[in-house]
Amino acid sequence: MNYNLKSKEHALALKKLQEKIGYTFKNEALLQEALRHTSYVAEYPQLGKSNQRLEFLGDAVLELVLTSYIFDKCPDSDEGILTKIRSYLSNEEANTDYTRKLELDKLLLLGKGEDAANGRNKPSLLGDLFEAFLGALYCDGGYECAEKLCLSLLPSMEDILARFPKEENPKGALQEFCQEHNLGRPTYELLSRTGPVHKPLFTVRIVLGKKEMGRATGNSLKGVEKQLAGEALKSLKQILMGQSQEQERQVVVALDFDGVICDSAGETGMSGWKAARKIWPKLFVRKVPSPKALQAFRQVRPFLETGYHAILLTKMLQEKLPFQEFQQNCQFHFQRIMDENGLDKQELIRIFGETRDNWIQENEEEWLGVHGFFDGILDALNALLKSNCKAYILTTKQERFVLAALKSRGVDFPAENIFGLDRKKKKEEHLLDILAGKPSEVHFVEDRLDTLRRIEAVKSLDCVKLHYATWGYGTEQDNLDAADDKRLTVHTLQDFNRWLSNI
């Protein structure tokens, strides 16, 4: 089956894309060319060239835009760090992310064979698609248009730099440290250059404010400056550490909600059914799912990553897909259902949120009643809130729903410490924000092994102590894999409740 948009749908989607980026192509043939994969051209050669030439151009445009941007934003970083940052922002994963942000994947024209082989979800293909689109934009609108688009898609420089070990960039780390503590900008002064031309000796000193922080001599000017920056940073940290030792030790515990605190499979399954009924009323005749349907949803609950996925899982169950499809091809079917029904992520989020809001308004007692809380967890949570620890909830649920569910069970959790779907951030980004407050110890508890793997991949989060909840929505294989991961502390519900009550 081929999922390319039909002619009218494609034209409408092209219009929406141009509205989204704030630019209308003067030569739409360039835009059409950027969206034609080689497999499509092989089947319809009369329609024009594939996007390979534009991809070649877009690759160069992207590199120039990123190089200029990074050079300007990272004045204290050497070329090694600059190269790593540029590579991070232009690699296959990054380009795929840009493609999906722009929803170019929906517009991509693929041959039937490539489409049937799940080509629309291949990172290599999607990465090339963004570069081709950028090349077309450059040809039609010039460098400034291409630059504006690229910069609008990038994460903040703060988030970018957080992914790189600061020991690799001592000058940048020192600069950042001085800014955080209002210490001024460090400067490097060349005091002398001696020795033969082929082997010079540079003597440099580093000054912060009016105070010399140190001086050193070496054969490489950059190397000497790096050495001085590292020594100055170490010295400043020791000074501030002496001051901070007088302050109270701050321990942070961040908890996932669904699967750690709340057994929400019943409520999520009901909400998913009610929302699906709004989209497909003829397929979902019953106002509420049968007990058998709810039990089927509970079995596939491990494959739900965020609330609106409940709608798509419910539709997959209605299609009677084999369980193996849920295990192996969930993302493919999510996208297929959205494409077949003209749905997008924001629309599904809106429908799912409105469904819950309406349910709460119509019968709040019923909505609260279908929430389950794991045995003993509420008592342990209340004990945590009475301790000296700072508690957070990191969830993909809307914050207002979490707050309402907890309040109904007598837990007065600080609303400002619930970070949910409304903030549009990943959990690893929330953890980086928490670390910015410089707590002495951070613990994160999660039942999704994939989420913990993502956090493990962020070097700046190495200091976070990770805990895996076996009582949540992980599979048996997830539990076995977690037990083999030396960085994870694996808990049963009983021992976790004891730990949380006494931390």
3-state SS string over 77-117? CCHHHHHHHHHHHHCHHHHHHHHHHHCHHHHCECCHHHHHC
The whole-number pLDDT of residue 249 equals 67
In sequence order, which residues have a C-beta less than 8 Å from that of residue 342 and are 6 or more positions away?
Answer: 9
Task: Residue 440: name the closest of 198, 251, 169, 243 by CA.
Answer: 251
The whole-number pLDDT of residue 176 equals 82
* Contact assessment for residue 47 and residue 41, using Cβ atoms and an 8 Å cutoff: yes
- Pull the structure tokens for residue 136: 């077309």
Q: Region 15-29: what's the mean pLDDT?
A: 94
- Give the CA distances from residue 347 to residues 279, 302, 307, 472, 474, in Å, rounded to whole numbers and listed in that order: 11, 23, 13, 28, 28
Task: Residue 13: name the closest of 107, 126, 136, 149 by CA.
Answer: 107
Tell me whether domains 7-155 and 166-244 share a fold.
no
Rounded Cα gap, residues 145 and 147, in angstroms = 5
Rounded Cα gap, residues 63 and 71, in angstroms = 12
| DSSP-based three-state secondary structure for 183 | coil
337-346 burial by CB neighbour count: b if 16+ within 10 A, else e? Answer: bbbeeebeee
C-alpha neighbours within 13 Å on the C-beta side of residue 115: 19
Dihedral sign of CA atoms 210, 214, 219, 225 in order: negative
The partner residues of 202 in beta bridges, in order of sequence, read 193, 218
Q: Which residues are catalytic?
A: 59, 131
pLDDT (tens digit per residue) in 304-355: 888 899 999 999 999 999 999 998 899 999 999 999 999 999 999 999 989 9
Rounded Cα gap, residues 10 and 500, in angstroms = 53
pLDDT (tens digit per residue) in 477-496: 999 999 999 999 999 999 99
Backbone dihedral angles phi then psi of residue 393, each to the nearest 5 degrees:
-120, 125
Q: Which CATH class, in words, describes the domain spanning 166-244?
A: alpha beta
Rounded Cα gap, residues 305 and 292, in angstroms = 22
pLDDT (tens digit per residue) in 242-300: 554 444 568 999 999 999 999 988 888 999 999 999 999 999 999 889 999 989 998 88
pLDDT (tens digit per residue) in 53-78: 999 999 999 999 999 999 998 887 77
In sequence order, which residues have a C-beta less than 8 Å from that of residue 363 and are 6 or more positions away?
Answer: none
Rounded Cα gap, residues 53 and 33, in angstroms = 9
- Pull the structure tokens for residue 159: 């988030």
- Pull the structure tokens for residue 245: 């030792």
**CB-based burial of residue 315 (10 Å sphere; 0-12 exposed, 13-18 middle, 19+ buried)?**
buried
Per-residue HEC secondary structure of 1-32 comes to: CCCCCCHHHHHHHHHHHHHHHCCCCCCHHHHH
Rounded Cα gap, residues 229 and 205, in angstroms = 10
DSSP 304: -
Rounded Cα gap, residues 74 and 66, in angstroms = 12
CATH architecture of 7-155: Orthogonal Bundle (1.10)
Q: What percent of the chain has pLDDT over 90?
A: 58
C-alpha neighbours within 13 Å on the C-beta side of residue 313: 28
In sequence order, which residues have a C-beta less than 8 Å from that of residue 495 and are 6 or more positions away?
Answer: none
Checking 283-291 for CB contacts under 8 A at 24+ apart, the result is 283/315, 283/318, 284/314, 284/318, 289/314
- Pull the structure tokens for residue 129: 């698609």
> What's the pTM value of the predicted model, to 2 decimals?
0.48
The whole-number pLDDT of residue 132 equals 95
* Sequence spans of domains, the chain: 7-155, 166-244, 251-260+372-502, 265-366
Rounded Cα gap, residues 367 and 493, in angstroms = 25
In sequence order, which residues have a C-beta less than 8 Å from that of residue 459 and are 6 or more positions away?
Answer: 163, 164, 165
Say whether pLDDT at 1 is over 60.
no
Dihedral in degrees, nearest 10, Cα atoms 398, 410, 416, 154:
-30
In sequence order, which residues have a C-beta less than 8 Å from that of residue 264 and are 6 or more positions away?
Answer: 257, 258, 371, 372, 397, 405
Residue 166 pLDDT class (50, 70, 90 cuts): low
pLDDT (tens digit per residue) in 362-414: 988 888 888 889 999 999 999 999 998 999 999 988 898 899 889 989 999 99
Question: Which listed CATH number (3.40.50.1000, 1.20.1260.10, 3.30.70.260, 3.40.50.970) goes with 251-260+372-502?
Answer: 3.40.50.1000
